[in-house]
Amino acid sequence: MKQTKLVHITDIEKDKAVLEEAGRIIRAGGLVVFPTETVYGIGANGLNADACRSIYAAKGRPSDNPLILTVPDQQGAEKVAACITPTAKKLMDRFWPGPLTIIFPRQPQVPDAATGGLDTVALRCPDHDICRAFLRCADVPVAGPSANLSTRPSPTTAEEVMHDMDGRVDMVIDGGPCCIGVESTIVECDGEDSVTILRPGGITMDMLKEVVTYVRLDTNLVTGQGAPKAPGMKYRHYAPSAPMTVVVGTEAAVTAKLKDLYEDALADGKTVGFLVSQEVGAHFPKDDMYIWGRRGDKAALANQLYTGLLSFDTDKVDLILAEGVDGDGLGMAIMNRMKKAAGGNVIIL
C-alpha cells in the first residue's frame, strides 16, 4: 500500500514547490490526484504505458475503458494529436480551457494503455488554475480519469477522494470543491462543421450548436446499443452503495410517486434515503435526506449529485429515492449520470 500525501494548495506561487514535487511524481511514473472544475482526477504520465496501467489498477477499472489525457493548453494537444481539424480548432478556441473533451487521432507515442486500444486519444484542457499549474509542472500529458473506485460516484472534494484513494496513490492535491460537479462533455468531430456527443457534460448541445452547425448524439447514448468510443459509456458508473430509483416529472407528480415508493419500502422494513429538491423534500421526514437545491436548479443538482450519492455511504440506507430533472441543457448530463447510477431504474411521469 502506498503512503498517500495530502497537500492543500491555496496559492499557486507560494505552493509552487509542492506542485513541482507533484510533477516529478508524474514523470517518475507515480499517481497524483488533482482538482478540476468538473471532478477530481487521478493523474499519471499519459505517455507511460506502465503508469497508465497503474491507474486501471488503482481504480479497479477495465483496461479497455479509454483514459482522458489532460493538457494545460492547446500547444499540449499538438504534442499528442496526429491532426487538429478546423472543427476541432473552433471548439478548442471557444471551450478550452473548459469541460469539453475532444477525440483526436493519436500520435504514435500515445500508448494503447491510455486509449483502451483505440487509434484515437481523448484530450481536455481543464478550466482550473491549480490544475493547469500542476500540468505545466508535470510537462507531459496527464491521464486523468475520475479519482474514484470503478463504478462509484466521482469525487468533487479531496475528502471524498481520500475515502477511495488513500493508500492507492502517491499524492492528493486539495484545491477545494469542484464547481461543476459532473464530468466533461466528450465529442467526436465527424467532418466539416459536424460533431457527435459521446458523453454529455458541462458543455451542452445548445452551446455546441453556437459553434458548429451539426450536433448529434451518439447511437450508444440514444439506444444503449453500439460500440462505445469514450470513457463512461461501456460500464456501470456513478453507483452509490444502495439501489436507487429516480423519478422525473412535475413537483406534484414526483412527490406523489415518491410517497408511494416510500410507503412500499417502509412496509418491506427498508430504510430510505432521499436525494431531492427543497420543494419535494418538504413533504418527507428529514432523516436520511440530502437536499441538492431548489427545484429546477440544474447547476445545483449537477454540483451536488455525487456528494449526495456518497452521503448515503455514511448514512446507510437500503434504498435511495431521487428526484431527477428534464433532459434539456445540463439536464442531459445529469440524467445520463443518474440513469447509470440507478442501473436504468428511472420513472418518467
The 10 Å CB-count burial string (b at 16+, else e) for 152-169 is: bbbbbbbebbbbbbeebb
Name the 3-class secondary structure at 272.
strand
Within this chain, do residues 214 and 307 fall inside the same structural domain, yes or no?
no
- The answer for residues whose C-beta is within 8 angstroms of residue 182's C-beta and 6 or more apart is 38, 39, 154, 201, 202, 302, 305, 306, 333, 334, 337
Within this chain, do residues 123 and 88 fall inside the same structural domain, yes or no?
yes
What pLDDT is recorded for position 316?
A: 87
Residue 61 labeled ligand binder: yes
pLDDT at 98 over 90: yes
What pLDDT is recorded for position 226?
A: 52
Cell of 231: 470513457
Query: For residue range 126-136, what is the model confidence (pLDDT) as tens digits?
Result: 999 999 999 99
The CATH number covering residue 320 comes to 3.40.50.11030
Residue 268, judged by CB atoms within 10 A of its CB (0-12, 13-18, 19+), counts as: exposed
Residue that is last in its domain, among 223, 252, 275 = 223
Is there a domain that residue 238 lies in? Answer: no
Within this chain, do residues 92 and 172 fall inside the same structural domain, yes or no?
yes
Cα dihedral: 232, 236, 242, 247 (round 10): 70
The 10 Å CB-count burial string (b at 16+, else e) for 287-318 is: ebbbbbbebeebebbbbbbbbbbbbbeeeebe
Q: Any alpha helices (H) in 247-297, and if so which ranges?
A: 251-267, 278-281
Residue 184 labeled ligand binder: yes
Residue 56 labeled ligand binder: no
Element (H, E) at 275: strand 272-276
Element (H, E) at 115: helix 112-115
Within this chain, do residues 199 and 89 fall inside the same structural domain, yes or no?
yes
Is there a domain that residue 262 lies in? Answer: yes
The CATH number covering residue 115 comes to 3.90.870.10
Is there a domain that residue 232 lies in? Answer: no
Residue 124 labeled ligand binder: yes
Task: Report the amino acid identity of residue 239.
Answer: A
Residue 38 labeled ligand binder: yes
CB 173 within 8 A of CB 9: yes
Within this chain, do residues 213 and 248 fall inside the same structural domain, yes or no?
no
Residue 120 labeled ligand binder: yes
Which percentage of the chain shows pLDDT scores above 90? Answer: 86
User: What is the spatial distance between Cα 146 and Cα 154, in angstroms, rounded to a whole number?
Assistant: 6
Query: For residue range 8-66, what is the model confidence (pLDDT) as tens digits?
Result: 999 999 999 999 999 999 999 999 999 999 999 999 999 999 999 999 999 987 766 78
Query: For residue range 254-309, what is the model confidence (pLDDT) as tens digits?
Result: 999 999 999 999 999 999 999 999 999 999 998 899 999 999 999 999 999 999 99
Is there a domain that residue 231 lies in? Answer: no
Residue 250 labeled ligand binder: no
User: What is the spatial distance between Cα 101 and Cα 76, in angstroms, rounded to a whole number?
Assistant: 14
Element (H, E) at 308: helix 298-314
pLDDT at 243 over 80: yes
Instruction: Write out the residue range of the structural domain in which residue 298 sits.
Output: 244-348
Q: Report the 10 Å Cβ neighbour count for 345.
A: 14
Name the 3-class secondary structure at 279.
helix
Phi, psi at 34, each rounded to 5°: -135, 155
Look at residues 185, 283, 192 and name the one whose alpha carbon lies nearest to residue 233.
185
Q: How many domains does the chain have?
A: 2
pLDDT at 161 over 60: yes
